[in-house]
Amino acid sequence: MSVYVVGDVHGHRDALADALRAEGLVDGDDKWSGAEDQLWFLGDFVDRGPDGVGVIDFVRSLQEQATDAGGSVQMLLGNHEILLLGMYHFGDRQVPSDFGPRSFARSWEINGGLLSDQDRLTPEHIEWLSARPVVSLVDDHLLVHSDTLEYLDWGDGLDAINAAVKEILTGNDIEAFWEVWRRMTTRYAFRGPAGEDNAQQLMDALGGTRIVHGHSVIADQLGIHPAQIEGPYLYAGGKALGIDGGLFVGGPCLVVELPFVPES
């Protein structure tokens, strides 16, 4: 049994299928072929690409097939799922703010939201997404979407954080909902002189010996073109692994087997 993680897909359903097929996780008919393997998605299925809801439906079908085969397909929420849900629930309703006009509709449009995704969302989609976790620990890997310490503001453990966010996402408090979106847009906590200490702080609270995250495109971290990305980015003294290949800007859809061992 192997464990795989996938970074930000952003509506590129066919590229995702191709990448999973290359790892033997789906067959030529896009059906689960990973047997008892575990597959984790780290969020951002939607926005900036042509078929976000298609990605959601594809992953949900794989989840059902994997369970039947003795495997597992799971998903963490990314900041773009929060934005999608906020747009669905609140639209252009103004978020109370001392910093000028704010609404989910405005942020959704700025951040690549597609009307075709909103039009195809069903209550079943919303219920499924709202129940997904935002953090998980898998074989000593701390899985998160965003490279941030902001998760700790929701609680002091995995269960507490996931429960707190789920309560907000299934409620109707627009300010609390907006705060989830804001916190999960923050990034780069594991870069720079304090990066390794910050990574350790998160793991001291939540467990694990390496953080695996999406959200921040590897090319931006390294100052290269996304097309030059060949694999995940291990940094912060080996304590953080970035896996967002920047699919929506021409980078690869990275499917990474854990534990990741860099080439010597």
CA angle 183, 185, 77 (to 5 degrees): 85
29-78 pLDDT per residue, tens: 999 999 999 999 999 999 999 999 999 999 999 999 999 999 999 999 99
Whole-number percent of the chain with pLDDT over 70 = 100
Q: Which pLDDT value is given to residue 98?
A: 74
Find all residues with CB under 8 Å of 201, minimum gap 6, and list them: 149
Q: Which pLDDT value is given to residue 100?
A: 75
Question: Measured between alpha carbons, how far is 50 from 11 in angstroms, rounded to an integer?
Answer: 5
Tokens 């923050």, residue? 186
Q: Is it the case that residue 99 has pLDDT exceeding 90? A: no
As a whole number, mean pLDDT of residues 6-14 equals 98
pLDDT band at 264 (very low <50, low <70, confident <90, very high): low
Whole-number percent of the chain with pLDDT over 90 = 96
Q: Are 7 and 244 in contact (CB under 8 A)?
A: yes
As a whole number, mean pLDDT of residues 192-201 equals 98
Q: Which pLDDT value is given to residue 186?
A: 98
Q: Which pLDDT value is given to residue 125?
A: 98
Instruction: Name the more confident of 15 and 1.
Output: 15
Q: Which pLDDT value is given to residue 104?
A: 96
